Amino acid sequence: MAESKKIILGIAGGIAAYKTPELVRRLRERGAEVQVVMTRSAEEFVTGTTLQAVSGLPVRSNLWDKDAEAAMGHIELARWADLVLIAPATAEIMSRLASGAAPDLLTTLCLATHAPLVIAPAMNHVMWSNPAVQANRQVLEARGVRILGPDRGDQACGETGEGRMVEPDAIAAAVTGPTIVADVERPPLIGRKVMITAGPTREAIDPVRYISNRSSGKMAYAMARAAAAAGAEVVLISGPVELTTPDGIQRVDVESAREMFAATHERIDNIDIFIAAAAVADYCAESVQENKIKKTEARMSIELVRTPDILASVAELENGPFTVGFAAETENLREYAISKLEKKNLDMIVANQVGRNRGFDSDDNKVDVFWTAGEQSFPMMPKTELAVALIKLIGERYLERSAPGTRGELADRARIIHE
């Protein structure tokens, strides 16, 4: 950790707040400067006097405190912080953070800061498992908020379950230690090459007609942006879409499935992660008519042949990249997705229900992700947010697959853990 890390410790109103003086001590022992910011309800559980004594700084709690604002305004405070830690984080504060509400000093700071945000939730285990709280957790994770815990064990309410705040010493170690610093401050895909196929393909019938589909390319472009933000070098192999190229991304325009296949294989060497998000046409005309077809006949038919499966061909490569496919289905989502994962020999598959205004061409999406050893569901959210969450998950699984001993990734892992 850098010398004297400046941490805003936000304390929300949960019983675990009684442990925060101890947390301040542990953080300071590890060389951090700690500015405590309490919510009104936190003051019901622990006193500002105690926290001021252990932190050595006046405690802030009121956005409208003229004297405190004159000394260091909330925007200045937001800039001052290297990291914002909220412990305990209650269901209430998670909901405010997820929605962007800022009725008090702490939540205002969270909106106004560029510093990474780490939260240590603490609440009754039934509250923690409530779908509303879990949905907020997913939204926050998707935005890059790092969530510590909660732990399982005895709770203040007399029940046992998942909801205890992680112990102060472990929180202090995590936020000042190398792993979380790497996690929250260092883009996880730095130095990685990611290739993404995007949009529909167009399969020509004659010079003016083609077969295509409703894909907008929005999900793939959002993922390209998210991968670049995570530090990756990104190549986007794009079918025809009405989208602008994200900054810093190499875009290769193609029309047909065959062109997409060729463009992909020309550039696949050294790609670490291949994400096939394109809606590639499954069939193309056996032969493209040289001239415009005339409507002389009452009926006509076009002979179609299968297009090459780009994703399967990349998954077959020896020492190939980590492969991620998409499965857009109108029914039996889970079954079809898992069978596709196995049949195409993929590392991961992202399944989404399409049809009835869902999936294609909309700005929101809801997906389930499957890999050999697990699965994760994401609630309906904007594609831009979902893309960030998917890139995070893909990055984690990619690193896990590249565990020490395989593909010479030992050095990489060591770098990520120790930098």
CA atoms in the 13 A half-sphere facing the CB of 334? 4
CB of 340 to ligand C5P, least distance (A): 6
Of 307, 306, 312, whose CA–CA distance to 324 is shortest? 312
Stretch that binds ligand C5P, among 33-41, 323-331, 393-401, 405-413 (CB under 6 A): 323-331
Of 175, 226, 276, 381, the one binding ligand C5P (CB under 6 A) is 276
Q: What's the per-residue H, E or C state across 296-337? A: CCCCCCCCEEECCCHHHHHHCCCCCCEEEEEEEECCCHHHHH
Of 327, 348, 369, 391, the one binding ligand C5P (CB under 6 A) is 327
Stretch that binds ligand C5P, among 24-32, 122-130, 141-149, 303-311 (CB under 6 A): 303-311
Nearer to ligand C5P, 327 or 416 (CB): 327
* Number of helical H runs and strand E runs in the chain: 16, 19
310 part of the interface to ligand C5P, by CB under 6 A: yes
Of 157, 243, 285, 317, the active-site residue reads 157
311 part of the interface to ligand C5P, by CB under 6 A: yes
Q: How many CB atoms lie within 10 A of CB 27?
A: 25
| Residues within window 377-406 making contact with ligand C5P, judged by CB under 6 A | none
333 part of the interface to ligand C5P, by CB under 6 A: no
Q: Please state, in angstroms and rounded to a whole number, the distance separating the CA atoms of residues 88 and 165.
A: 6
| Residues within window 180-209 making contact with ligand C5P, judged by CB under 6 A | 197
259 part of the interface to ligand C5P, by CB under 6 A: no
CA distances from 334 to 299, 323, 349 (A): 39, 19, 10
Answer whether 46's CB lies under 8 Å from 17's CB: yes
Nearer to ligand C5P, 54 or 204 (CB): 204
Q: Please state, in angstroms and rounded to a whole number, the distance separating the CA atoms of residues 388 and 233.
A: 15
Stretch that binds ligand C5P, among 72-80, 95-103, 276-284, 352-360 (CB under 6 A): 276-284
CB of 195 to ligand C5P, least distance (A): 11
Nearer to ligand C5P, 136 or 307 (CB): 307
278 part of the interface to ligand C5P, by CB under 6 A: yes
Q: Are strands 6-11 and 193-198 parallel, antiparallel or unpaired?
A: unpaired
Q: How many CB atoms lie within 10 A of CB 387?
A: 25
Q: Please state, in angstroms and rounded to a whole number, the distance separating the CA atoms of residues 109 and 106.
A: 5
Nearer to ligand C5P, 288 or 293 (CB): 288
Say how many Å lie between the first and final Cα of the chain, rounded: 9
Stretch that binds ligand C5P, among 206-214, 227-235, 305-313, 384-392 (CB under 6 A): 305-313
38 part of the interface to ligand C5P, by CB under 6 A: no
371 part of the interface to ligand C5P, by CB under 6 A: no
Nearer to ligand C5P, 282 or 364 (CB): 282
Contacts of 212 (CB under 8 A, 6+ apart): 200, 201, 202, 203, 240, 281
* Active-site annotation holds for 110: no
Of 326, 360, 378, 398, the one binding ligand C5P (CB under 6 A) is 326
Of 51, 85, 257, 273, the one binding ligand C5P (CB under 6 A) is 257
As a dihedral over the C-alpha atoms of residue 341, residue 344, residue 346, residue 348, rounded to 10 degrees, the angle is -30
Q: Are strands 364-371 and 348-353 parallel, antiparallel or unpaired?
A: antiparallel
φ, ψ for residue 15 (rounded to 5)?
-60, -30
315 part of the interface to ligand C5P, by CB under 6 A: no
Of 21, 121, 163, 325, the one binding ligand C5P (CB under 6 A) is 325
Q: How many CB atoms lie within 10 A of CB 404?
A: 12
Of 105, 280, 381, 391, the one binding ligand C5P (CB under 6 A) is 280
CB of 314 to ligand C5P, least distance (A): 8
Which residues are known catalytic residues? 157
Provide the binding-site residues for ligand C5P, judged by CB under 6 A.
Answer: 197, 257, 276, 278, 280, 282, 307-311, 325-327, 340
